């Protein structure tokens, strides 16, 4: 604004000086020889300067203000975009970090589930083996009990048969030859039968 005022004052000074210089000689001078009226030029210059001043105050000032306002707005928007970009970068980094944490956490949970499944599977296998071993032991014990019962029953039957046979032998007539045959048969039976 100061430059405009300075330019206007310089132009007015130049015009006034030319007008006075043109009027000074009596012969009209160079300007009157060229057909230039210095007063008309001065009025035109003053009119131009007034119009320029009015335009500067009412038009160029407002346009300059609008341009300055627009420049400030653009600068603010650029700064806001930079801030938003930095925030976006920060959020992107946080999101990537969180996704990495979630992935690590899910991998840890999957591994824990696999480990727990393996532990439970091993427990089930061990329990099944133990139950099978217990069942085998019960079956062996049952077989042994039945075997013992069968042996006891067989001994009872053998004892009855032995008593029966002894009774028959006793009731039979014993002569020395028959007596020797029974003793020999008993001795030979003892040597061939395994002891129980």
Domain extent listing, the chain: 2-117, 153-192
Residues 6+ apart with CB under 8 A from 16: 42
Both tokens of residue 7? 């330019």
Q: How many residues does the chain have?
A: 196
Assign 98 a pLDDT band (cuts: 50, 70, 90): very high
Residue 77 predicted with pLDDT over 80: yes
Mean pLDDT taken over the chain: 80
Residue 195 predicted with pLDDT over 60: no
Residue 30, pLDDT score: 75
Both tokens of residue 155? 């001994």
> Environment class of residue 98 by beta-carbon count within 10 Å: exposed (0-12), middle (13-18) or buried (19+)?
exposed
**Residue carrying structure tokens 């019962």:** 149
Residue 40 predicted with pLDDT over 70: yes
pTM value is: 0.38
Residue 153, pLDDT score: 81
Find the mean pLDDT for residues 158-168.
68
Find the mean pLDDT for residues 107-126.
93
Find the mean pLDDT for residues 23-46.
72
Find the mean pLDDT for residues 2-25.
58
CB 19 within 8 A of CB 38: yes
């Amino acid at each position: 604004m100061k430059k405009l005022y300075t330019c206007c004052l310089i132009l007015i000074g130049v015009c006034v000086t030319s007008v006075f210089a043109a009027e000074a000689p009596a012969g009209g001078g160079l300007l009157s020889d060229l057909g230039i009226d210095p007063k008309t030029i001065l009025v035109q210059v003053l009119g131009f300067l007034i119009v320029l001043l009015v335009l500067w105050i009412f038009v160029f000032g407002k346009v300059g203000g609008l341009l300055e306002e627009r420049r400030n707005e653009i600068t603010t928007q650029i700064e806001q975009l930079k801030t938003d970009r930095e925030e976006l970068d920060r959020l992107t980094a946080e999101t990537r970090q969180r996704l990495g944490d979630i992935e690590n956490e899910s991998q840890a949970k999957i591994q824990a589930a696999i480990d727990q499944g393996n532990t439970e599977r091993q427990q089930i296998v061990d329990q099944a083996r133990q139950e099978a071993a217990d069942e085998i032991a019960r079956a062996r014990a049952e077989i042994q009990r039945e075997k013992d019962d069968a042996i006891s029953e067989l001994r009872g039957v053998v004892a009855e048969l032995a008593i029966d046979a002894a009774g028959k032998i006793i009731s039979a007539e014993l002569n020395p030859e028959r007596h020797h045959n029974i003793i020999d048969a008993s001795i030979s039976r003892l040597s061939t039968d395994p002891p129980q």
